[in-house]
Structure 1
Amino acid sequence: MRPQNPDPGAAAFSAGAGLALFDAILRGRPDGAEPDFAGCLRQRLALRAAESCATLSRLREDAAALRDAEHLSRSGETSPAGRLHRVFRLYASLPARLDAAILRAAEFLGLEETIDARALAEVAITAPDPLAAAARASAAAMKLCAPSTDAEVFAFVVADLVLANRLGWARPVPLLAVALLHPSLRRGAGGKRSRPSDADWPAAVAVAYGFAVAEAHALAVDLARRAQKLLVVAPMLRAKGAGHVVDLLLADDGVTPSAAAGRVKMSDRAARRLFDRLVALGAVRELTGRETFRIYGL
C-alpha cells in the first residue's frame, strides 16, 4: 500500500510531543544547560543528515565514507558528499542566530548572492509556531535559489536553524534531512518525495520532524549512557592531556589519535595508547573496524 497523505493536525501534534521530550534532554541539567554529550549528538546527527542528502544527490558515500573523509583527510579537500557533511557540521556548531547562521550556510553552499537572510528571518518570526516557522522559512529559502540539490539542502538547513531559534536552543540540531527519505513521506501513485516547493510541505515537515526527533531522542539516550561511562572512567586516566581528549570525544562524532595528539600536545603513540585504554575500559568505541586509520567515539 502507498503511504497516505498525512493529517496535518496529527502530524504537528506528534512532532510537537517529540520535540518537547527532546527539548527536555537538551536542557537536561538542573540549571538548564546542555548535557556534556550535546556536541557529539549534534555531529552524529549531522553525519546522518549528510548521508541522507548524499543519497538524494545520488552520491555514493555512506556514513562510514563520510566520517573517513572528514576525520582522515590531511589536505582539507573533500568530495561533493563530504562538502554536504561539512555544511551540516558547520551549522550544528553555530549559535542559532538566524541572519548570521543562514548566511554562513548559504556561503558554504555557494548560494550567498541569492539569499536575503533578513527576509527569511522575518518569515520565521511571524509564523505562529516553531513547526510552521520551519516549514515557511524553508519553502521561502527554496524560492530564493535556482532549483538544485544544494538549494534543497539549504532549505533543510534553514528549517533546522529556524526551529532551534524558535525553541530557544543554544545551537541548531540537524533533524529535518535525517528523516526525509522515510517511506511515509512519499505520496501519490509514483511515490514522489515531498519538496519545499510542494503545497503539502508543511504537513511533510511535521511528519519528518516527528520521525527525526524520535531517532534523535533514542540516540541521545544511548549517548547519555556512553558519556556517563566515559566521565566515570576519566579520573582513572593518568596520561597527560587525557581530560582534553575526553572533552574532544564528548564534542564530536569521532576523534582520531593523530588529531587528539595535535590538539593536546602528546605523541601519536601516547594518543593511541590512551584510546586503547579507553576501549579496554568500555568508555569509547572504535568506529571503523579497521586495524589502521582508526576513529574513536562514544
Structure 2
Amino acid sequence: MECLGAVPTVIDCRENLVGGETHESDSCAYAGPDVSDVEVGDRVAYTGVPSSYAEYVVVPEGRLVLLPKGVDAQMAAGAMLQGMTAHYLAHTTYPLKEGDTALVHAAAGGVGLLLVQMAKHLGARVLGTVSTEAKAKLAREAGADEIILYTEQDFEVEVKRLTDGAGVQVIYDSVGKTTFEKGLNCLASRGYMVLYGQSSGPVPAFDLAQLGGKGSLFITRPTLGHYTLTREELLERAGDVLDWARSGQLKLRIEQTFPLSEAAEAHRRLEGRQSTGKLLLLP
C-alpha cells in the first residue's frame, strides 16, 4: 500500500542502529557502538522499517526481534508482520471471546488466514468472505465456520441469515471502500468495525451520527505501530506468533517466493488480488 501511495512512509532515525543482510529476517552483519541487545551473527527479524528491498538494511535496535531456535528466516518473514497484525486485532483491538461471532473479510489473505486461526483458538465463531471457491477451501481449512462467496452472494444478506438477524460482534475489514457501509449493517448492537486496511480504496466521508441509529457502534482504524509502541509489547506479540508458528499451532501459508529482482511481479500479484497467504522476496 505504501507503493500505491495509500499509506505514508515515515522514517525515524533517532534510535541505535544495526546493519543486517536481511529480507525482514536473517542475520546481523554489523552492530553500532551503542547497541547492547544484538550481536553480529544473531538471527533477527523486524517489521515497520522502510527500504527493506535490499541485501543490507539498517534497522533500529529497538525494532529487532531475536529468532528462537526452530524458526528459520522464511518462517519469520512469513509470520512477523501479518502474524502480529492478526494478534493485535484478535487479542487487543477487539479481544475475541467464547460466544462471539466475527466477520473476517478477505479470509484467505495473508492476515485473514492467520486471523481466522487465532479467532478460533479464542473460541469465536468465524464468518469469512472470499472471492473464489479455491480461496473458500483455504479459509475453511484455517477454521472458518461459514464462508460467504462475495462475488456470488450479498455478504450483508448472508451475515444476517447466518446470525438469525442478530449481527456479528466484530468485523475485521481490510477491504475498505466496497465493504464498509454494508458492513455497518451487519453489526450487532455495540458492535465493533475494525478497519485495518483499504485494498479497494479509502472509505468515503461518513457521518458518525449514524452510529447511534445503527446500534451505538464503534469504529476504529488501528495500525501495528500503535500496538507495538514499547519494546515489551513488540517482543510479547512477536514471541507469541513465532512460538505458535514453530509449534504448528499457527499454520503459515507461504504461497510463493520471488528473487528480489522480480519484486515488480510480486507486487502485480498482490495488486491483482491473485495471492493467498504470504509472498516472500529473497535477496
With a CA cutoff of 8 Å and minimum separation of 6, indicate the structure with the bigger relative contact order: 1
TM-score calculated relative to the size of structure 2 = 0.31
Greater fraction helix: 1
Greater fraction strand: 2
